Structure 1
Amino acid sequence: MKLIDLHEDLAYSNQVGIDVIEGNRQSSIKMLKEFDSLIFASIFPHVDTLDERSEELTSLYGNPTRSTNFSLELFLDQVKFYYYLERKGIVKIVRNANDIEPKGVKLLLSLEGVDVLRDYSDLYLLKELHVLNLGLTWNYDNKFASSCMAKKDYGLTSEGEELVKLANKLGIIIDLAHAGKRTVLDATSISKKPVIDSHTNFTRLKQHKRNLDDEEIEAIVKTKGVMGITAIVSTLKEQTINGIVESIKYLGESFGWEYVAIGTDFLGIGETPKGFENILRVKELARAIEGHEEEVLWKNAYRVIKENLSSG
């Protein structure tokens, strides 16, 4: 079975002591070898802190969540970890459009939040490091874009607009997970390439700041992008595998099956939906969406990745 998962936190989990090579917690390289897989391997260069912002995040996600401050040092450490895995022969890092066929375990490096960038021209450095997916925000606003937690949703700044344009030119995917609504609408209007929301669900089913409303969905659809249905339990109407299926079917039946993908957020979440405890449960998910499983599990995301990376 082929699988593209648009978001897993392998490097961050390794830093906090979780075995992401041979382990059995949510996902690991060992489990991913059960598939021919391409995983968007998150780079999450943030330092946990406890403050008022962490209280907001705890209320948002329903479990204790610390706020974070970004760190260039952690960014480099996480990139180095992924290249270590490749040198050991455990994974293959995607470098261009010719590398993206799911086969063995492949990693597409993905920066979650652009806080570590000084200006948009830093994308040239990311390109050299083969960081090919760019999340504009995490849960905090930055100099480029407003987040889903914004008190004032200002969307893309002028610097953010240049960031999106340069990403298109370099063949770097724009990822709108955690973005504020104005950011979603601005980025989709500017991007000349399909965008993604790597891990999300939908406000029509569950009101949540991390979820997309119908206007945001339509904006992503107009770019021919995809949305990765996620396992974040607080974003699901029903906190089970059936809740994930419900989100998949809502997007597919209401907007088109070509826009549906999977972005589990495994290794980045503290709790999993019942019946979807780890990446191996994708096999049960495939049976539940029989007839659309290839589209959802890899074909749709493959199309978007190929169109973006072919530009660079």
Structure 2
Amino acid sequence: MRLVDLHEDLAYSNQRGVDVINGDNQSSIRMLKEFDSLVFASIFPHVDALDERSEFLTSLYGTPTRSTYFSFDLFIDQVKFYYYLDRRGFAKVVRDKSDLSGNGVKLLLSLEGADVLRDYTDIYLLKELHVYNLGLTWNYDNKFASSCMSKKDYGLTSEGEELVKLANSLGIIIDLAHAGKRTVIDVCNVSRKPVIVSHANVKRLKVHKRNLDDEEIEAIVKTKGIIGVTAIVSTLREGNLNSIVDNIRYIGESYGWEYVAIGTDFLGISEVPKGFENILKVRDLAKAIEGHEEEVLWRNAYRVITDNLTT
């Protein structure tokens, strides 16, 4: 079975002491080897803190939540970890289109949040490091765009618009997971390449700040982009496999099966859906969407990757 997972936190979990090579917690290189797999390997360069911002986030979520600040050192450390996996032969970092084929685990490096960039031209450095997926925001606003947690959703800034245009020309995918609605609409109007939302669900099925309403989904579809349905329990109507299937079917049946994929967020979540506890459960998911499994688990994401990559 071929599989693209649009979001896994391998490097972040490694820094927390989780065995992401041979472990059995949600996902690992060992488990991913069960498939012909391509994983968007997240770089999450953020540091938790307790301050007024954490009090604000707690009020938003309804549960104690620490605020987070970006760290360039963490960015470098996580990139180095992925290249360590590459040098040791555990996985292959995608450097160009030729690396997308073949057996084994392939890693497409993905920066979650553009906060570590000093200005939009820093993405030339991302290109040199083969970081081919760029999330504009995480759970707070930055100089490029507003996030889904914004108190004032100002959308894409002028510098953010330049970032999107340059990313298009360099073959870097724009990822709108965690983005505010105005940001989603603005980016979809600016981008000349398909965009992705690597890990989110449908707001019509569960009202949640991380989920997408129909206007956002329509905008993403118009770019020929994809939405990675996710395993984040709080974004699901019910915390089980059936709810994941419901989100996939909603997008597929309402907008077209070519616009839906999966982005588990495994190794970045503390709670997992019942019946979808780890990446091996993708086999059960495939049975539940029989007839569309090749599109959802591989073909759609592969199309968007190849439409974006320039080399």
TM over 0.5: yes
> Judging changes above 3 Å, is the alpha-carbon distance between structure 1 residues 257 and 4 closer, same or farther for their aligned structure 2 residues?
same
1:51 and 2:51 matched:
yes
Question: Closer, same or farther in 2 for the Cα pair 1:102/1:134, shift >3 Å?
Answer: farther
Match of 2:241 in 1: 241
Question: Cα 1:242–1:57, aligned 2, differ >3 Å: closer, same or farther?
Answer: farther
The correspondence of residues 124-273 of structure 1 with structure 2, limited to 5 A, is 124-273=124-273
- Confirm or deny: 8 A CA contact 1:27 1:267 kept in the other structure: yes
Hey, what's the Cα distance between the residues in 1 that align with 2:5 and 2:269?
15
CA RMSD, 1 decimal: 1.2
Unpaired runs of 5+ residues, structure 1, are: none
Amino acid across the alignment from 1:42: S
Q: 1:64 to 1:96 in 2, by over 3 A?
A: farther
Residues in 2 aligned to 1:59 and 1:241: alpha-carbon distance in whole angstroms: 29
Inter-partner Cα distance in structure 2 for 1:240 and 1:104:
29
Contact 1:62–1:234 (8 Å) recurs in 2: no
Give the structure-2-normalised TM-score.
0.97
Identify the residue that residue 38 of structure 1 maps to in structure 2.
Answer: 38
Q: Secondary structure at the match of 1:147?
A: coil
Give 1:199's aligned amino acid. H
C-alpha deviation, 1:238, in angstroms: 1.2
1:102–1:4 CA distance, 2 compared to 1 (3 A): farther
SS in 2 for 1:115: helix
Is the contact made by 1:4 and 1:262 (CA closer than 8 Å) also made in structure 2? yes
Could you say if the C-alpha distance between residues 56 and 296 of structure 1 is closer, same or farther in structure 2, counting changes exceeding 3 Å?
farther
**Is the partner of 1:122 in helix, strand or coil?**
helix
Report the CA distance between 1:57 and its aligned residue.
Answer: 4.1
State how far apart, in whole Å, the 1-side matches of 2:234 and 2:217 are: 19
| CA deviation string 1:275-297 (max 9, x = no partner) | 10000000000000000000000
- Where does residue 292 of structure 1 map in the other structure? 292
Deviations 1:245-302 (A, max 9, x none): 0000000001100001000000000100001000000000000000000000010000
What does residue 112 of structure 2 align with? 112
CA pair 5-64 structure 1, distance change in 2 beyond 3 A: farther
Partner of 1:96: 96
Q: Which moved more, 1:282-291 or 1:61-70?
A: 61-70
How far, CA to CA, are the matches of 2:284 and 2:211 in structure 1?
Answer: 24
Q: Which amino acid aligns with 2:21?
A: I
2:67 matches 1:67: yes
Aligned AA (1:239): G
Q: Distance in 2 between matches of 1:243 and 1:208?
A: 14
Q: TM-score, normalised by structure 1?
A: 0.97
Distance 2:293 2:62 in 1: 30
| Pairwise CA distance, 1:63 | 5.8
| Deviation per residue, 1:163-208 (Å, 9 max, x gap) | 0000000000000000000000000000000000000001100000
Task: Quickly say closer, same or farther: Cα 1:95–1:166, change in 2 above 3 A.
Answer: same
Q: 2-side partners of 1:55 and 1:10: how far apart? A: 28
Q: Match for 1:73: what amino acid?
A: D
TM-superposed CA distance for 1:162, in Å, is: 0.2
Residues 63 and 9 (structure 1), Cα distance of their counterparts in 2 relative to 1, 3 Å cut:
farther
Pairs aligned (count): 311
Percent identity over the alignment is 78
